[in-house]
Structure 1
């Protein structure tokens, strides 16, 4: 079976089978500032989302054996761009991220981090693609036979392989808590947690994330934005802010600012509506 399920633009569930988009559900929100800016998409609909998914398949082989995996920075600020900067500065040795066709992977190359993370949406499930696994590295895939997605187990695998400075992406508060527990049990290991795909989070999970992680993307999460405002945390980005939830997170975002030569905010930045 070749099937890849992701939550894409506006957190719409999308299913891709054998290189074809076979199902697109209604999105939770109908506007995304990033896709408006970079793709000219003014309103998210199932048809528009389907066309964007097909563009990605044709452009860089998303969810196919033709996947192009390396890429230079796409956004000024994004999780993959920030992780790449941390690798360049030797702050982290690897990033535990998710790639379609592989599942959870351990990556050391900044361009590979960007090529994997900067081009895809939130992956819910995936199946193995041999050609993609070969490029990433068989030994760097959590489970090459199933393309399993499990960030907690990915961190454990990275520690077992000898990495002591690890960046990891998570989409749930539960994963963040488990990873901090793993860190506490490994005295010589430092783990930096980056939260993605936050639209629709509960207030309780949002609070937990601000206590446990280092960097959080706002997406269209009302709860994340509310807590960030209450805590007056350091942030970058206007339409879709990225927040520093820790001192390390603030340092990382400022490192990224320095690397790109400063921040230019759009005065007319539009916030996704409605926030959820």
Structure 2
């Protein structure tokens, strides 16, 4: 069986992992990020660092391998998976539809699985089934939609979550036209659908308005289009180097719930933002 996993990470770099080994790394237009400089003292996001970072993920928690760890505690103070984990613990969300390397589309109801699946993987582009990963997820109560193919399809995940009777469903997704389909999918009045958009570096400007019209949370990553849009529209946000923007009032509630738990200041709409805190080159 083919073992091939494609992710986009560290900006817009495509990385291919096969049989636990990196087989392809694209170069990145984004050469500097203050977050990675602060965390790892990295001055340039070159191929050497990218390989080192991805190899760390492979060996540390088994990304794209049969050793994949699927349950984790909080990794950073505020990220998409931390926001989701906290709100699931609080009872604000009862199901998360996401994707996992080695499994594809997954319905998750365990907060530590939500953290484990999403915490250290950026944009998953494609993946193939790894039986051990699928088994581990199913043992946590998660549902893998396509165990034979590991297809990525959050819209079908939403449909199944609704069929199973979940009422407060969160979906993690990277920028794509599917986001509008997710928002327009018909649900009963007692069902709420919340959309969390991550990995936005390089998103086209004409897509940004659609993201903010349909999502609840949108991460800034190193997106120039999102930076320009939010400077004009001034949504609530949290964070300096890589802000998390609230595209809806419900998104702000989710973000503030996480901030309250970790005793951080709540979301703000202070503008203009300090550009010195942002990546030197936005895409």
TM-score w.r.t. the length of structure 1 is 0.94
d(CA) in 2 for partners of 1:27 and 1:255? 35
Deviation at 1:263, TM superposition (A): 4.0
Alignment correspondent of 1:218: 220
1:104-183 matches, within 5 Å, as: 104-137=105-138, 140-182=143-185
Deviation at 1:225, TM superposition (A): 1.5
Alignment correspondent of 2:270: none
Q: Pick closer, same or farther for the CA change 1:229–1:44 going to 2, 3 Å.
A: same
d(CA) in 2 for partners of 1:172 and 1:237? 21
Deviation at 1:10, TM superposition (A): 2.1
Contact 1:193 1:213 in 2 (8 A): yes
Do structure 1's residue 271 and structure 2's residue 271 form an aligned pair? no
Contact 1:60 1:67 in 2 (8 A): yes
Residue deviations 1:126-175 (CA, integer Å, cap 9, x gap): 00011110111186011000000011111111111221210001112411
d(CA) in 1 for partners of 2:187 and 2:12? 35
Q: Pick closer, same or farther for the CA change 1:268–1:195 going to 2, 3 Å.
A: closer
Residue deviations 1:172-202 (CA, integer Å, cap 9, x gap): 24112101111x3433310010001111112
Contact 1:85 1:110 in 2 (8 A): yes
Where do 5+ consecutive residues of structure 2 fail to align? Answer: 267-273
Contact 1:220 1:275 in 2 (8 A): yes
Deviation at 1:273, TM superposition (A): 2.4
Where do 5+ consecutive residues of structure 1 fail to align? Answer: none
Alignment correspondent of 1:242: 244
TM-score w.r.t. the length of structure 2 is 0.92
d(CA) in 2 for partners of 1:33 and 1:164? 39
d(CA) in 1 for partners of 2:187 and 2:143? 23
Do structure 1's residue 189 and structure 2's residue 196 form an aligned pair? no
Alignment correspondent of 2:269: none
Q: Name the count of aligned residue pairs.
A: 273
- Find the residue that maps to 1:10 and give its secondary structure: coil
Contact 1:29 1:44 in 2 (8 A): yes
Alignment correspondent of 2:201: 199
- Find the residue that maps to 1:250 and give its secondary structure: helix
Q: Pick closer, same or farther for the CA change 1:232–1:52 going to 2, 3 Å.
A: same
d(CA) in 1 for partners of 2:128 and 2:253? 36
d(CA) in 1 for partners of 2:203 and 2:84? 23
d(CA) in 1 for partners of 2:276 and 2:258? 21
- Find the residue that maps to 2:177 and give its secondary structure: helix
Moved more, 235-244 or 255-264: 255-264
Deviation at 1:33, TM superposition (A): 2.8
- Find the residue that maps to 2:277 and give its secondary structure: coil
d(CA) in 1 for partners of 2:37 and 2:118? 19
